[in-house]
C-alpha cells in the first residue's frame, strides 16, 4: 500500500523537501492536491507530529497566498481523532474570532470536540461583545439545551443590543419564548428616549 502522509514526509525530508512544503502541497487550491482523498488515518499522524507548524499556519494571514487553501488545512485538522489542547485553543480563538471564513471552518473543525458547548457558553461572559454575540449564535445553531441557563444569565446582564439579540435568538431556537426575557417598561423608556 501507499505510505501515510507522515511516512511520506519523513522520506521527502531526507531529500530536502520539508514538512511545511508538504503541508502547503496538501493544502493547494489548484488541481487535485496531494492526499486530498486519503482516509483520515493516513493524514492525522502528520498533523499530530507537526502541530506547531499547523498552529503557525492557522495563525498566519494566508489571504494573499492564492495557492494555499485554508479549508484544506481545517479539513486536515478535522482528521485528528483527539486534537492536542494547544490546537483546540487556537481553533476556539478562530471559531469566536472576527475572520468570517476562518470562524465557520474552525467551528466545523470543532464539531466532534467533546464538551465544546461548555466552552462556548463560557464565552458568553467575554468582555468583548462580538465574542458574546458569536457564542450565542453558535449555541443557537447547535440547539444545545443545557446552554439555556447560561444564555438566560447572559441575556439578563447584556448591555449590547446586537449581542442581546443573538442571545434572544438562541433562546428562541431552543424553544424559549423571547417575551419572557424582555422588560416592557425598560423597552418603553428606551423607545421614548430614542424618539425624543
Report d(CA 36, CA 46) in Å as an integer. 14
Question: What global pTM score does this model have?
Answer: 0.85
- Closest among 69, 11, 76 to 37, alpha carbons compared: 76
**Quick one: pLDDT at residue 194?**
73
**Quick one: pLDDT at residue 161?**
92
Report d(CA 10, CA 51) in Å as an integer. 15
**Quick one: pLDDT at residue 8?**
93
**Quick one: pLDDT at residue 176?**
94
All 3 cell numbers of residue 116?
Answer: 465544546
Report d(CA 22, CA 28) in Å as an integer. 10
List domains and CATH numbers for the chain.
1-80 (no CATH), 115-196 (1.25.10.10)
Phi–psi pair at 124, nearest 5 degrees: -65, -15
Report yes or no: 68 and 29 within 8 Å, Cβ to Cβ: yes
**Quick one: pLDDT at residue 21?**
93
All 3 cell numbers of residue 26?
Answer: 496538501
Report yes or no: 139 and 117 within 8 Å, Cβ to Cβ: yes
All 3 cell numbers of residue 90?
Answer: 487556537
- The DSSP string of 22-74 is HHHHHTBSSSSPTTTT--HHHHHHHHHHTHHHHHHHHHS--TT-TTB-HHHHH
pLDDT, averaged in runs of 10, over the chain (196 residues): 90 92 89 81 95 93 79 92 94 94 94 93 97 98 95 95 96 92 71 74
**Quick one: pLDDT at residue 68?**
87
**Quick one: pLDDT at residue 94?**
96
Residues facing residue 159 across a β-bridge: none
Chain centroid to CA 54: how far? 15
Amino acid at each position: 500500500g501507499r505510505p501515510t502522509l507522515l511516512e511520506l514526509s519523513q522520506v521527502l525530508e531526507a531529500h530536502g523537501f520539508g514538512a511545511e512544503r508538504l503541508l502547503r502541497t496538501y493544502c493547494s487550491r489548484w488541481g487535485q492536491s496531494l492526499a486530498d482523498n486519503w482516509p483520515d488515518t493516513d493524514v492525522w499522524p502528520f498533523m499530530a507530529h507537526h502541530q506547531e507548524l499547523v498552529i503557525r499556519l492557522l495563525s498566519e494571514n494566508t489571504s494573499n497566498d492564492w495557492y494555499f487553501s485554508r479549508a484544506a488545512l481545517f479539513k486536515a485538522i478535522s482528521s485528528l481523532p483527539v486534537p492536542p489542547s494547544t490546537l483546540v485553543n487556537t481553533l476556539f480563538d478562530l471559531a469566536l474570532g472576527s475572520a468570517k471564513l476562518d470562524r465557520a471552518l474552525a467551528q466545523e473543525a470543532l464539531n466532534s470536540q467533546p464538551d465544546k458547548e461548555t466552552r462556548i457558553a463560557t464565552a458568553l461572559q467575554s468582555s468583548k461583545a462580538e465574542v458574546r454575540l458569536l457564542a450565542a449564535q453558535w449555541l443557537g445553531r447547535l440547539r444545545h439545551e443545557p446552554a439555556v441557563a447560561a444564555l438566560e444569565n447572559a441575556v439578563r446582564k447584556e448591555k449590547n443590543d446586537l449581542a442581546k439579540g443573538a442571545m434572544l435568538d438562541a433562546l428562541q431556537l431552543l424553544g424559549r419564548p423571547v417575551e419572557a426575557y424582555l422588560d416592557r417598561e425598560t423597552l418603553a423608556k428606551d423607545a421614548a428616549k430614542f424618539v425624543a
